[in-house]
Amino acid sequence: MVFFHTSSNTSLSPTSTSSLPTSPTSSMVEQTIQNAESIIKKWDLNSSSLITITPLFHPNRKEAKDYLKCVMDLRGTMHFLVSQNSAPHKLVIAQNLMQIAMKRLEKEFYQILSSNRERLDPESVSTSLSSDGSASFDVEEDEADQQKIAGESISEVERVSALAMADLKAIAECMSSSGYGKECAHIYKLFSKSIVDRGLYLLGIEKFKSSRINKMDREYLHLTIKNWLNAVKIALKSLFNGEKILCDHVFSASQTIRDACFAEITTDGAKNLFKFPELIAKNKNSRPDRIFRLLELHGAISELRPDIESIFNVELTSAIKLQALSSLQKVGGSVKTLLTNFGSSIRKDSSKTPVPGGGIHPLAQSTMSYLSSLSDYDRILTDIISIHPQIDNALFPESYFNDPNVIEAPKQAASVHLAWLILILLCKIDSKAQLYEDLSLSYLFLANNLQFIINQVQTSTLKHLLGHQWLSRHTQKIKQYALSYESVAWNRVFESLPERTTSELSYEAVKDCFKRFNAAFEQVYVKQISWIVPDGKLRDELKVSIAGKLVPVYREFYETFSTKLNADFVRVSPDDLGNYLSDLFHGTRISSSSLLQSSSHSKGCLLR
């Protein structure tokens, strides 16, 4: 039968007054003791009857209600006898009865916990409580009404869970008000701590040590971190939160007991749980990609901090919050160290081999891949970097700061820092360009690498972090590099042709122009056929620009004078010239030192 419900009617609690009048007579005291003796001894654990193995809180719950009521009446009688300082023999009898009752209630408390182990899981606990977080063992409503209320409001499983919680609360209040709160709390702590510890074990939370983590290979370490990231949310929001709800409910009459119980049950497990990120932060592995796991750990703790503060909100659990905060700080510190080391590794790159054909430098590829991935953690990075900005202007040439807009001032600290790391990379790419003996190839190398960097920015979260102004400014820089390349590489070819074609040129002058053009173009072509421009758009723009300045002038000169000279001097037709230009910037390998042996080169269109 149901005696627990969530109504606001009078409930049985240690603070409820007994049925004794304010000034009971001697006969009333005697009657109360006799009534208590008949009920309490019936359920005496030392009895030889089957009562010792029969639960007091069985389906016919009237006897449980009567038992708790008689204990409260007995407690009231004992208080009266003490206050009157009379009838010591009656007080001794009452005290003996109280001890028998407490032993019985201890057993009932443990049996309820044990038999409802599965029902008292965190989810059941949270759904079994009423909106005001209470359930009561009512002594006024009859069983039929209580059962009807329970049946209408909750499912059978939830009903049983709610009844078990209310039974535990009623016993805890009765024992605490009778001076046996420590005994009740001891049983509860032993039982609940085993549930919490087992729950953490099933979630894969172990007691790690730094030495063990340092010995883990990369793959296993990543799996361990991934498991922790999944487990910490469940542990906090279900395991610890559910335990707090149950503990607060059962010991609602005593804040001291419930705080002490919750702290003792959860402190070891929670501290171990939140210490894991700190151990990872102390890991000696210095691989740059380690930062991503640290960012995930930092993000998880930051996201859960409100729940941590809410659940562990008493002084006795402050050590748990301090451990979580310590891990957050240690992880953040490791992230900042890795960022600093990453910037230093870019500056210290000492490779001296030029990239063939002016292609993309491996440093640009690895750096932008890293920064593109980092940009996905911009919110977490901002939280970390904003505490201690790490930009050092002294490490860069003064020319980089002539323009006050070299780095914009985005709202997020992560934006500033990522832009700064790209600036470090650009400085290094500038120094790598100096490795080329051919100045025009240096400019092509700079254009290629800056275009690659911009492409990486545009296809990642970096685009939103750095902003349109950053992209526009650096796109303009590519155009400057392209013009410089074109000027240095092709000026000799452009200058080999007269500025204006006129029929007044002598035969020797025309012949000399063709000879100079053939020599200049062949030299440029042979040299640049192996150069590369990976970006299709930039490659086409370069070809169009060169062809636009060269082909029309050459076509006019060719059409005017080609018929006056033999094939030994007129070796390239205007169409062939366009086709030769279309060969450029694909990184083609050649075996002959001279490819302009005839004008048979015909590939159709100017641009591939």
Nearest alpha-carbon partner for 291 in 227, 370, 226, 387: 370
Nearest alpha-carbon partner for 457 in 472, 442, 446, 447: 472
Asked if 183 contacts 102 with a C-beta cutoff of 8 angstroms, the reply is yes
Highest mean pLDDT, choosing among 145-159, 174-188, 504-518, 558-572: 174-188
* Band (124; pLDDT cuts 50, 70, 90): low
**Does 112 or 570 have the greater pLDDT score?**
112
Q: What is the pLDDT of residue 66?
A: 82
**168/138 Cα distance (integer angstroms):** 14
User: In the predicted model, is pLDDT for residue 599 greater than 70?
Assistant: no
Backbone angles phi, psi at 7, to 5 degrees: -80, 175
Q: What is the pLDDT of residue 503?
A: 63
Q: Give mean pLDDT, residues 152-173.
A: 77
Least confident of 59-68, 435-444, 447-456, 537-546: 59-68
Q: What is the pLDDT of residue 527?
A: 92
The first and second tokens of residue 91, run together, are: 């007080």
pTM > 0.85: no
The first and second tokens of residue 197, run together, are: 């510890």
Q: Is 60 exposed, middle or buried (0-12, 13-18, 19+ CB in 10 A)?
A: exposed
User: In the predicted model, is pLDDT for residue 128 greater than 70?
Assistant: no
Terminal-to-terminal C-alpha distance of the chain: 87
The first and second tokens of residue 175, run together, are: 């024992």
Question: Looking at residue 354, what DSSP letter applies?
Answer: P
Q: Which domains does the chain have, with CATH numbers?
A: 4-179 (no CATH), 195-329 (no CATH), 349-467 (no CATH), 496-582 (1.20.1280.170)
pLDDT, tens only, 223-282: 999 999 999 999 999 899 999 999 999 999 899 999 999 999 999 999 999 999 999 999
Q: What is the pLDDT of residue 600?
A: 43
Least confident of 132-136, 186-190, 287-291: 132-136
User: In the predicted model, is pLDDT for residue 5 greater than 60?
Assistant: no
Average pLDDT, the chain: 81
Question: Looking at residue 420, what DSSP letter applies?
Answer: H
**258/313 Cα distance (integer angstroms):** 12
Q: Is 431 exposed, middle or buried (0-12, 13-18, 19+ CB in 10 A)?
A: exposed
**448/451 Cα distance (integer angstroms):** 5
Asked if 101 contacts 74 with a C-beta cutoff of 8 angstroms, the reply is yes
**Does 460 or 154 have the greater pLDDT score?**
460
Q: What is the pLDDT of residue 208?
A: 86
The secondary element (H helix, E strand) that includes residue 302 is: helix 290-311
pLDDT, tens only, 317-361: 999 999 999 999 999 999 999 999 999 999 999 999 999 999 999
* Band (533; pLDDT cuts 50, 70, 90): very high
CB atoms near residue 262 (< 10 Å): 25
Q: Fill in the amino acid letter for 49.
A: S
**Does 141 or 308 have the greater pLDDT score?**
308
The first and second tokens of residue 271, run together, are: 């501290």
* Band (59; pLDDT cuts 50, 70, 90): low
3-state helix, strand, coil in the chain (%, to 5): 70, 0, 30
Beta bridge partners of 11: 138
pLDDT, tens only, 248-264: 999 998 999 999 999 99
User: In the predicted model, is pLDDT for residue 603 greater than 50?
Assistant: no
Rounded (10°) CA dihedral 331, 333, 338, 343? 150
Least confident of 14-28, 53-67, 551-565: 14-28
